[in-house]
Chain A
Amino acid sequence: DAGVIQSPRHEVTEMGQEVTLRCKPISGHDYLFWYRQTMMRGLELLIYFNNNVPIDDSGMPEDRFSAKMPNASFSTLKIQPSEPRDSAVYFCASSPTGNNEKLFFGSGTQLSVL
């Protein structure tokens, strides 16, 4: 298995633009997590899905952020409009169960909003 695949690896955009981050979880994993990592706040859970259904979105910072999982093999995290303070590394992770004993991370998307 290729692991959790995220795209793009790097994204540079201007303030106010829409940004879409993509994630393909490991096949057969029922849980998908979106995390954000910054120097100041470390790694924070934004939202997670179980069987394509959003379960906990309490970590989504603002209405500018939205996430979808239209099917078991694809998820998106969208920021519209983007702001400089959104600059961070965004990680997607998947798990066959909700148990963190088997949690696999993608390589992340480095987002820079100018």
Chain B
Amino acid sequence: KQEVTQIPAALSVPEGENLVLNCSFTDSAIYNLQWFRQDPGKGLTSLLLIQSSQREQTSGRLNASLDKSSGRSTLYIAASQPGDSATYLCAVRLIFSNFGNEKLTFGTGTRLTIIP
């Protein structure tokens, strides 16, 4: 069974700093890995998706990397801003599942606070 872990559960950094969020998974037979953002009282918004054949994806100040062999992904946020404060979740989609490829396994998230 795929397990996805995100450590730390919470992180506080001063505004302007660069930071890295971590995600690890136990089954390397993944189809893709996705990073989401969740604001309080809101649903999840997709940030970046990395296919299993890719090593990284970038969007603005965000960069996500994937190392399948070690079962790790990182989300790098450059020049952090107070608006980046949110919970960040990673999710992996397995190549094989009982009914198809649709099932995602989520980590429990890292709650990020950017201190002005």
> What is the CA–CA distance of A43 and B43 in the complex, to the nearest angstrom?
11
Q: From residue 84 to 105 of chain B, which have CB atoms closer than 8 A to chain A?
A: 89, 91, 93, 98-104
The answer to whether A107 and B106 have CB atoms under 8 Å apart is no
Which residues of A have CB within 8 Å of B91? 43, 100
Partner of A91, one of B44, B46, B99: B44
The answer to whether B98 and A100 have CB atoms under 8 Å apart is no
Partner of A42, one of B32, B34, B46, B107: B107
> What is the CA–CA distance of A100 and B6 in the complex, to the nearest angstrom?
20
B59 to chain A, nearest CB (A): 14
B contact residues, range = 20 to 34
Question: Nearest residue in B to A3 (C-beta to C-beta)?
Answer: B43
The answer to whether B42 and A43 have CB atoms under 8 Å apart is no
B28 at the interface (CB under 8 A from A): no
B104 to chain A, nearest CB (A): 6
Question: Nearest residue in A to B9 (C-beta to C-beta)?
Answer: A39
The answer to whether B41 and A43 have CB atoms under 8 Å apart is no
Q: How many residues of A contact B (CB 8 A)?
A: 23
Known: A43-B106, A58-B98. A91 touches B43 (CB 8 A): yes
The answer to whether B98 and A56 have CB atoms under 8 Å apart is yes
The answer to whether A100 and B100 have CB atoms under 8 Å apart is no
Q: From residue 15 to 54 of chain B, which have CB atoms closer than 8 A to chain A?
A: 32, 34, 41-46, 49
Q: From residue 39 to 71 of chain A, which have CB atoms closer than 8 A to chain B?
A: 42-45, 48, 55-56, 58
- Chain B interface (Cβ < 8 Å from any Cβ of A): 32, 34, 41-46, 49, 89, 91, 93, 98-104, 106-109
- Chain A interface (Cβ < 8 Å from any Cβ of B): 4, 31, 33, 42-45, 48, 55-56, 58, 91, 93, 98-101, 103-108
